Structure formats: structure tokens, C-alpha cells
Amino acid sequence: MVRIYVIDNGGQWTHREWRTLRDLDVDTKIVPNTASFEEIIKDNVDGLVLSGGAPRIGLDSNLGNCGEYLEKSVFPILGICAGHQFMARFFGGKVQPSKIPEFGKIELMLLTEDNVLFEGVPKKSIVWESHNDEVTVLPDSFERLGESENCKIQAMKHKKKPFYGLQFHPEVEHTEYGEQIFKNFVNICEKYLV
């Protein structure tokens, strides 16, 4: 059984991430972002989800020990919302308050056709958002996977490491292909199983 933990950055939908993984028969647990990397790898995890949260990454807020996880991990990590923004900043990108924040329903447009995280997801689909900040400058080590009308970096991937970031929320019921995206991430983690 693949083991993916959800790092709790205080998001409203952290528990939904846990539920989605549990429904996919993943061995999962919610862990506060104050846990050290050593505590987490003791359990032989195969992947991490960095949840969203109220901290304003665009205003230089920190996100517990997420930096340590990104520095030390070799297994896949999926950053969502604040988790995604923090990932971008950690690798040298820029996060700023959104000119037009997005809440609720928007259309996601994928920019590549063959990314494993979006396997089975059409070029255009409905996703749900809830953010005040966004990634405005992509780190050099990342590539852009998706955008929306008002936010150019909706999805990104590290060029060499199995690290992904999503500005929208694949864990909520109203995101059309959310479960599919989680399934794909679980597959990515399974492939990393040694």
C-alpha cells in the first residue's frame, strides 16, 4: 500500500485531501507542519501533499517546516495553494498578492498534453479556487503546466524532481477532474516505491 501523508498548513480543505487519498485506498495521515523531516520519514512515506492555509505567502509568511521537506525529500511532493506558492518561492520564484484573486469556479487550461499529473484530464476543465496570492515568477527549475484567465501559473512541475504545484484545489468535490489528478499523483508516488 502506498503511503502519502498530508502536511497540514492550516487549510480549510486539508481534511478533504486526507479523505480523497483515503478513498483511493492510500495509507494516509494528517501531520502538522511543525513535524521534522526525520519524524516523517520514520514511517517510510512514499509522498507528501503540502496543504493550503491562511498564511499569506505573497506577504512573506512562512509555512512551518515545508522548506525542510522540499530540501531533503527525494519522494514526490504535491503542493496545493499556499503549499504550491511556498514551493515556488523556495526554489527561487516569486509570490505576490493577486491582482485579481479567484474564489469558486474557474476554467483551467492545460498547456502540455503529456504530463502524468494530468493524465485523463481534458485541455479545458472546471476547477475551484480560493486564493489571495499567486506565483508571479516561475522558478528557473520549474515548467508551467496550466493557466487560467487571471492566473498564469495554475500548475507547475519541477524539471528534474517529482515536485508539483497546483494553485487550484483538486481535493474539493466541485473540481471536475480532482479525483483523477489525485489518482495520477498516487501513481507517481507508486512509481517511486523502491
How many of the chain's residues bind other proteins (CB under 8 A)?
Answer: 27
Secondary structure element (H or E) that encloses residue 7, with its range: strand 3-8
Alpha helices of the chain — where are they, by DSSP H?
A: 14-23, 37-41, 66-72, 82-90, 178-192
Amino acid identity, position 171:
E
Give catalytic status of residue 171 as yes or no.
yes
68 vs 143, beta carbon nearer other proteins:
68
Q: Is 10 left (phi over 0), alpha (psi -120 to 50) or beta?
A: left
Among 15, 29, 94, 161, binds other proteins (CB under 8 A): 15
Among 5, 50, 53, 118, binds other proteins (CB under 8 A): 53
Interface pattern 72-111 for other proteins (x via CB under 8 A): -------------------------------xxx------
Kindly state whether residue 11 participates in binding other proteins, applying the rule CB under 8 A: yes
Give catalytic status of residue 143 as yes or no.
no
Least distance in Å: CB of 143 to other proteins? 29
Q: Which stretch binds other proteins (CB under 8 A): 25-33, 112-120, 145-153, 159-167?
A: 25-33
Kindly state whether residue 170 participates in binding other proteins, applying the rule CB under 8 A: no
Kindly state whether residue 19 participates in binding other proteins, applying the rule CB under 8 A: yes
Give catalytic status of residue 151 as yes or no.
no
Q: Which residues are catalytic?
A: 81, 169, 171
User: Which residues are at the interface with other proteins (CB under 8 A)?
Assistant: 8-16, 19, 22-23, 25, 32-33, 53-54, 103-105, 128-130, 169, 172-174
